[in-house]
Amino acid sequence: MQNNISLKPYNTFGIDVNANRFSTFSSIDELKSVLSERKENESLLILGGGSNVLLTKPFEGLVLKNEIKGFEIIEENDNEVVIEAGAGEIWHQFVLRCIEHGFAGLENMSLIPGSVGASPMQNIGAYGVEIKDVFDHLHAFEISTGEMKRFDKNDCAFGYRESVFKNIYKNQFVICRVAFRLKKNANLNTSYGAIENELQKMGITSPTIRDVSNAVIAIRKSKLPDPAVLGNAGSFFKNPLVDESLVEKIKATYPDIPNYPAESGKRKLAAGWLIETAGWKGKTIETRGVHKLQALVLVNYGGSTGKQVLDLSSEIIKDVQEKFGVTLEREVNIL
């Protein structure tokens, strides 16, 4: 257990605030042991790679960084495998390992930062695929009872950047192992336009799993900032789901507004387009700003406080609301 340490190395925004107490754990026994040292009513933060959090103040409590490792094939037949991975595995390394084995299903989600354990939290997704498409089950430690619980897909209520762990079970479970059902015979999903274009650029007509992964990596590198170079947490906002009538209203002024079919008869708008069209793309305010290549990404050029980034996001929400009548919702966890 460490006292009063800076969380700067543990969040991809690079926000420099302290935590009262900090420990890692690499097994369920170690988790139980550090939790036995938790003070009464002490706040608790379970951290993976810190790539989806904005720390707006010092964390007055106990931060536990998940380092549970593991990669195990727990079920296999001619067509499929189920792989259970430790929650502390680095997501992209796990994806690459599955690709090396020839297991398909995760390749579109290559290069997403963070840990395996956080992937079900917000049902991570990219380029036409979400965790829910390959998720089998997970094992989580219930903090109040000290018991392990299994969650199957139907227990998780996955939605667009949503799950029970972000809502009704927020802060109640520590996800320890996650299992994915992957295919041995690749059934590749290259329907996302950008992947098709990238494969064409690469001169590939019959792509392998690795080709799709490489295409996704190339697309991501071309527009998303590398957190090792520039502080950020990926998309700061969700793409908003709105009623058809609102899309029609906006179309009167902006006939080309991108919009896509979504859950429960709604339409999904591109938050990046709304923010760009409102004039924010590439805008810099002292130490922080809106990324010049992807307007959904807020960046910390160095030295920003979390509160300053949060205030910038509030200004953007207000402006987009005034200009389009659309309320943007933050995707990043604000702490």
Q: Which of 113, 207, 289, 306 binds ligand FAD (CB under 6 A)?
A: 113
Nearer to ligand FAD, 47 or 250 (CB): 47
Q: Tell which residue, 123, 148, 145, has the closest CA to residue 133.
A: 123
| Rounded CA separation 157/28 (Å) | 25
Q: Which is catalytic among the residues 51, 115, 235, 313?
A: 235
* Per-residue tokens: 16: 């420099």
Which of ligand EPU, ligand FAD, none binds 239 (CB below 5-8 Å, type-dependent)? ligand EPU
Residues 295-314 that bind ligand EPU (CB under 6 A): 295-296
Q: Which of 14, 105, 125, 306 binds ligand FAD (CB under 6 A)?
A: 125
Per-residue contact flags (x/-) with ligand FAD for residues 213 to 252, judged by CB under 6 A: -----------x--x----xxx------------------
Q: What is the CA radius of gyration of the chain?
A: 20
313 given a catalytic annotation: no
State the CB neighbour count (10 A cutoff) for residue 322.
Answer: 9
For residue 315, the minimal CB distance to ligand FAD (Å) is 21
Nearer to ligand EPU, 73 or 293 (CB): 293
Cβ-contact 169, 156 below 8 angstroms: no
Angle, CA of 314, 241 and 233, to the nearest 5°: 45
- 3 state SS of 184: coil
Q: Which of 83, 95, 96, 118 binds ligand FAD (CB under 6 A)?
A: 118
Give 87: exposed, middle or buried? Use CB within 10 Å, 0-12, 13-18, 19+.
Answer: buried
- The count of residues in the chain is 335
Give me the residues that bind ligand FAD (CB under 6 A), please.
12, 45-53, 66, 87, 112-115, 117-119, 121-122, 124-126, 173-175, 224, 227, 232-234, 333
